[in-house]
Structure formats: structure tokens, C-alpha cells
Structure 1
Amino acid sequence: MSHFEAFMLALIQGLTEFLPISSSAHLILPSQVFGWADQGLAFDVAVHVGTLAAVVLYFRKEVVSLLSAWVNSIITGKCCREATLAWMIVLATIPACVFGFFMADIIAHYLRSAWVIAVTTIVFGLLLWWVDRRAPQNIDEYAADPKRSLYIGLAQAAAMIPGTSRSGATMTAALYLGFTREAAARFSFLMSIPIIVLAGTYLGTKLADSTAPVDFGGLGIGLAVSFISAYACIHVFLKLVTRLGMFPFVIYRLLLGAGLIAFLMSQQ
């Protein structure tokens, strides 16, 4: 992988990780459309660390508040609203862990294809559009309860299918349950922290057993570019989502899916 490819893939990861347009799809497509080399485990770990650092830094006040309240609730047995929200984020993470444990290999072998990405990009884009128009959107993230959290967690688990989008699926579920657009985005972003930690840890253990050579220059590019682009993306998205809604991302998904189908058909 060249340093240009490392820069572009890290930029794609940072810009798409938190937008409802599927980062996994955008990272798979360059290899299938342009024939780029697979980025490898080390690079995957680097960009995961970059995006994790971005979301933790952006929500640093919330992270400290939620974490301290969560620990205090374990020690004292008393829950304030921050502790309750922290527990709901933990609960929402469980379905993806279970689904990933049993289905990760199946997804990697049978669903990482451009055709799957094209279909899921369109289908889940239309679902996001329908929910964004129809849902009441009148509660914030602190209204999350076990039932709502598990529902959003199941959506996050389903998003392991390439092209679905983790943030897109969780925001769609949250909007359907009545969250405002900003609350749905914030809950989705906070949910991303434990799942990125778990994914990065899993990739890190696999990397530890690998004997493949490591390009530290490429890793540095991946870490820095994914961090900067992800931080900027979170900031801009939260500023615009309440005014523009999800419609621009729906249009993008439909155009991407249609363009990908046209490309694939032209290759037959």
C-alpha cells in the first residue's frame, strides 16, 4: 500500500465512520473498484485508534461524566441519569459483540462484496429516509431505557453487514424510537466508543500473532489523517443534522448504490 493509498483510506475512514453512509463499504470499494492492495491489520488498528481518539476527545466532558457516574453506580449502587445512560450504552453494545462472535467469519467470507454493498447501501438509505420523515423525534438520549437500548444495539449488530453503516443503522433505530436527530447522533457516537475499543482490541490481538511487515510511515499517516478527518466530521455533522436532516445522506447513498450497480453491470 502506497502512502497516497494510506492517506486516502484514512481520510475515507475518518469521514465515513460517523456518517450514516457506511465506512466499511467505502474501505472495501477501493480494492474492488480500483484494485488497491488490502490495507492490512496494522493499518486497520491505526485508523481505529485515530477515530476512537477523535470521538473521545470531542465528547471528553461527556465521557468523563458518564464514566465516573458509571463507576460510582457500581460502587454505591445508586444511579443518576449519567450512570443510567452509561449502562444503556453498555447494554446496547452487547448484541454486536454476540453477533460479531458468531457471524464475523461468515460475513468476511460471503458478504464482503460490491453487490452486497450496493444493495444494502440503497435499502438502508431508503429506510433512513422513511424513518427521518415519519418518526416523532421528541426525546433525547437520556430517555434511553433497556428496551430502546437493546433495539438500537440490534441495529448496530445488523450493521456488521457491509454497506449498512453502523452509525446509519443506530441513528435510524434511535429516530424510529422517537429520539431527536441530534440525540440520535450523540447516542450513536457515544455507542461507537466501546465498539471501536472492542474492534481495535480484536484486531490488535490478531496483529500480535501476525508476522507481516509493518509500514510505520503508512501507520502514522493513517492514525493522523483518520483522527483529524473524524474529529472534523463529528463537529460538522452535529452542526448540520438538525437543520438538514438525513436527506442529503440518503441521496448520497442512493447515488452511490446506483453508480456501483451500473459499474458492476458494465464489468459483466
Structure 2
Amino acid sequence: MDAVFKALADPTRRQLLDSLRDKAGQTLTELEQGLGMTRFGVMKHLRVLEEAKLVTSRKEGRFKYHYLNASPIQEVADRWIAPYQKPFARFALDLKNQLESSVPMADKPNFVLETYIRTTPQALWDALTRPEQTALYYYGTRIDSDLKRGGPFRYLTSDGQVMLDGEVVEIEPLKKIVSSFIPSWAENSQPTLVTFAIEPMGEVVKFTITHHDYEKANAGIDTGWPVVVAGLKTLLETGKPLNLPTSM
């Protein structure tokens, strides 16, 4: 965590994170505006933030888009703050939207979250696809899916209600799952797309969540995903679940 605290110690870097919080997926040119420093200076600060895993980037065509990666900050919160937090309020579980046959993907994702987990691709895949494991980190819900394209990909509460609906759009075992995302707790939510990507990197596995058009989900995604990822990482690395809320 030393790299995280070092990165956050500089006010300019905190300003960059604030900018990415307010508008995800910015280019270097966009981030330069309002900072009053050279392009090289901005690049230098971004490098520190990327080394601390607080910023991640995606290249689409000739543009490189930058995103706030909240996972390291969530880990800090879980270590020192989570024991004092009250459980999240329980949202209504009635399904508000029916699954549409197709969900258009935006030109670029506007929510990206990365973390590195000391585990294997198989163990991570099992944690993502086995109901007894998702119940330990995904707000107490159990995954319901046949893991086939066009099949269901939804999360059920302990009494069998659908908390999160969706279907499998694309799947590559041990590598990637793309699914639609329809939260039952959110009013006026529209179907969006979520990608889980698994990439082995030596002794660790890089896990990336990409959520396209997440604002259309109207579901508190930017705060919900870091909690899920922190719980998943802790479960795989320690064998024990975090003391997280059981409902969203």
C-alpha cells in the first residue's frame, strides 16, 4: 500500500483522480486542461498513479483513455474503515426491466476496474461461476448460469429473487465472460454490458471488469464494483470472506 499513499500525497495527482472520478475515459489532452502544467508533467504524474494501480488505461484506435481504478482505495477502506461501517440499505428486489435481445456497446468503456490477485485462472474462474462462491463476496447472492452463449447470467438472493438479471453474450472459459447487466434495484435502468477478463501474469492473475455505458444502469456501479472486487480478492488470497454487507 506504500505506492498508493505515495501517489495520493501529491495534490496534483489527487486532482487528476478527481477529474477521472467526474469524467471517466479521458485522454491525455483532456487531463491537461485546467492543470496548468506541461504535457510531460501530466504524463509523469499519470505514471505514478498507474504504478500505484490507481489509474488504468485503454487504447482504442489512436486514442488512449484513462480511468480511475478504485480497487486499491477500496482495499485501504476495507482494512481500516469497513469494520465501522453500517450495512448498506437493502434495495427493492422487483425486476424493473426485461432483458433486451441485444445491447449496443459504446465506442469506449466508461468504467474500468483492475486488480491483481495471487491465485490461478481456474480458481478465479470458479469463484466467478460457482454459486456457493459468489455468495461469499457478491452481496450474498448466488450466480445462476449455464455458462452458454444466450443463456442466463443472473444473481439470486437467498430466497430465490433476482437481484441482477442478464444473459451471456460471449464466453471463453478461463479467459472472459461478457454479459448483459440489468439491476433489479435501480429505477429506469437500461441494459448495459459487463466484461470479466482473466489474464495470468506469473504468480498472479490480472482481473479486469469493464462496464460499458454504466451510467445507463443507474445502479451505483462506481461504488458497488470495488466492494465486489475487494471481497473476491480477499476470498481467493486468504480463503476467508470479507465482512461485507449481504445486500446492495
TM-score normalised according to structure 2 size: 0.29
Q: If each structure's helix is expressed as a fraction of its own residues, which one has the higher value?
A: 1
Q: If each structure's strand is expressed as a fraction of its own residues, which one has the higher value?
A: 2
Structure with higher RCO (Cα < 8 A, 6+ apart): 1
TM-score normalised according to structure 1 size: 0.28
